[in-house]
Amino acid sequence: MSALETVEEHRSHSGVQGVYRHSSASTGTEMTFSVFVPDHAEGAKLPVLWFLSGLTCTHANVTEKGEYRAACAEHGVIFVAPDTSPRGEDVPDDEAYDFGKGAGFYVDATQEPWARHFAMRSYIERELPALVGKHFPVDLDRQGITGHSMGGHGALTIALRNPARFRSVSAFSPIVSPLNCPWGEKALGGYLSPDREAWRAYDACALIDDGARIDHLLVDQGTGDDFLETQLKTGLLIEACEKAGIAADIRMQDGYDHSYYFISTFMAEHVSWHAERLAR
């Protein structure tokens, strides 16, 4: 287990908002993430909500714009926000915003030059939870996961692959089927291989079609989102959940776009929704 470096900590909303750095065995790089810990009784263990960010983002986007702290303090929920990809001078990159640094897609890459560092699936599913469990007062038997856009894709697929681990899953504007959109075809084809069968483990709709199940799901999607029809394709998730009998509250929010103005509007509702399920 690597040592944890404190980058910064601030008192906020009756808790502590911190940013931390460590050396990752999964990615072979330094990784930075943020954690909000509400005030709590000495020795108490709190439920944890993971937030996975979207394309071009780091931990900082939701930490600075997500407006989750008041709700997390009210409900006693720890909030963890990882980065979206490995970083560093030796990490390969691409000129486009939707591939390379900032666009890890929460996969374990198998193709060169990406395979050495782009192991975000292993980092999020195994390494980071173990690290957070060691250094923060989290109850790893009470985990929820959410995310935005590419991070919504990550939240859905990670939860579907690990249904016993997560008591709750939600998403904001998720990429629901990378198999059927340009962002996903570029990322999965580049990180994995041209073999589309290898992509199915990273496609929420395909995972559901292949038998993966979660008990319940909350999704908010803005109708004014410029990416709705070409990249996000929320209707495919609605169809997959209906066919599989998954209880899904998929809310089309009139006029909202893809930005953090949208996310921050509904963040407190998502935190409350997760808290109710994590308290059981």
Please identify which of the residues 75, 153, 258, 274 carries the catalytic annotation. 258
pLDDT average, residue stretch 138-167: 97
Contact status, residue 178 vs residue 236, Cβ threshold 8 Å: no
**One-letter amino acid of 104:** G
Identify whether 149 is a catalytic site residue: yes
Number of domains, the chain: 1
Please identify which of the residues 24, 53, 85, 149 carries the catalytic annotation. 149
Cα 62 from Cα 148, distance rounded (Å): 9
Identify whether 177 is a catalytic site residue: no
Nearest residue to 204 (alpha-carbon basis) of 241, 172, 168 = 241
What range does the domain containing 184 cover? 5-279
In the 8-state DSSP scheme, what is residue 242? H
What does pLDDT average to over the chain? 97
The CATH number of the domain where 134 resides is what?
A: 3.40.50.1820
pLDDT at 1 over 70: no
Please write the tens of the pLDDT for every residue from 214-241. 999 999 999 999 999 999 999 999 999 9
Report residue 280's pLDDT band, with 50, 70 and 90 as the boundaries: confident
